[in-house]
Each structure stands twice: as structure tokens, then as C-alpha cells.
Amino acid sequence: MVVKKIKVLIIDDEKDFCYFVKTNLELLGKYRVIIATSGWKGILAALWHKPDLMLLDIMMPRTDGFEILKKMKKYEKTMSIPVIMLTARDEDTYKIKAAGLYDEDYLIKPVQVDRLKTKIETTLARFGKKI
């Protein structure tokens, strides 16, 4: 029996961080992780790969995570993909802004893999996706 892996798209300009998260999630055996190192690459990757969930950084050059989140929620093909903000920004104003743009959760870097896994699974369960 082939088990469908959960597709997670990471949109973050920090390549080392992306590969750390990708490696650790994929080692769990049930995730397939796609990386986009800019906001626009992330939008294209979301449209192409149709991920089950996105992890989105806020602080990126040119287009920040808030702008990307706004765009994702406007496109019919990406509006229903759950987004967890994964960022170093711990200020309440950032958390409130992200919530106003319909993120599903907000995690602060650095993040432990077990905590990230739990947040991903909880979010997907709310969307009726089996893990």
C-alpha cells in the first residue's frame, strides 16, 4: 500500500534553515517538503505543487511574508491552503497582523521539530486532512 505523503511548502529566504526543516520533516517518513527561497517563487511553487500546508517566513527581501500571505489568500487555487507563519518575529503586532490575514498558526524560530510536527498535524486535522 502506498501512503500519500503530506506536501509541505517552506517559503523562507534562509536556505540553511529550509534544508534543516526539510531534512528533519522528511526523516519522519510522512512528509514531502518543497522549498522556495523567495515570496514569488513560493507563489509559483504553491500553484504548481498544490501543497497541503505552507510554512511562511515574514522577513524576506523584496516581498515580505505578509504580502505573500495576502496574495495566497486572494488566488482561488491557493486560498484554502493552510499557512503557518514560521518566523523570528515574536512581537504581538506581527502575530495580530498574520491572524488578520488568515494564517492558521504562528511559530517562532528556532523551532523544535516535534513542536513543528504537532502544529502541522493539528492544523491539517482542522482542515479534515488525515495524517
| 117 lies in some domain | yes
Q: Tens of pLDDT along 51-76?
A: 999 999 999 999 999 999 999 999 99
| 131 lies in some domain | no
Look at residue 130 in the predicted model and tell me its pLDDT.
74
Q: Tens of pLDDT along 72-118?
A: 999 999 999 999 999 999 999 999 999 999 999 999 999 999 999 99
Distance in angstroms (rounded) separating the CA atoms of residues 82 and 103: 7
How do beta strands 105-108 and 83-87 pair? Answer: parallel
Cis amide linkage into residue 110, ω under 30° from 0:
yes
Cα–Cα nearest to 104, from 82, 120, 122, 89: 82
| 100 lies in some domain | yes
| 119 lies in some domain | yes
Q: Which domain holds residue 100?
A: 6-126
Whether residue 129 is predicted with pLDDT greater than 90 in this model: the reply is no
| 21 lies in some domain | yes
- Give the CATH number for residue 48: 3.40.50.2300
Look at residue 1 in the predicted model and tell me its pLDDT.
60
pTM for the predicted model, two decimal places: 0.95
| 1 lies in some domain | no
| Total of domains in the chain | 1
| 115 lies in some domain | yes
What is the mean predicted confidence (pLDDT) over 40-46?
Answer: 96
Query: At a CB cut-off of 8 Å and minimum separation 6, what does 71 contact?
Result: 43
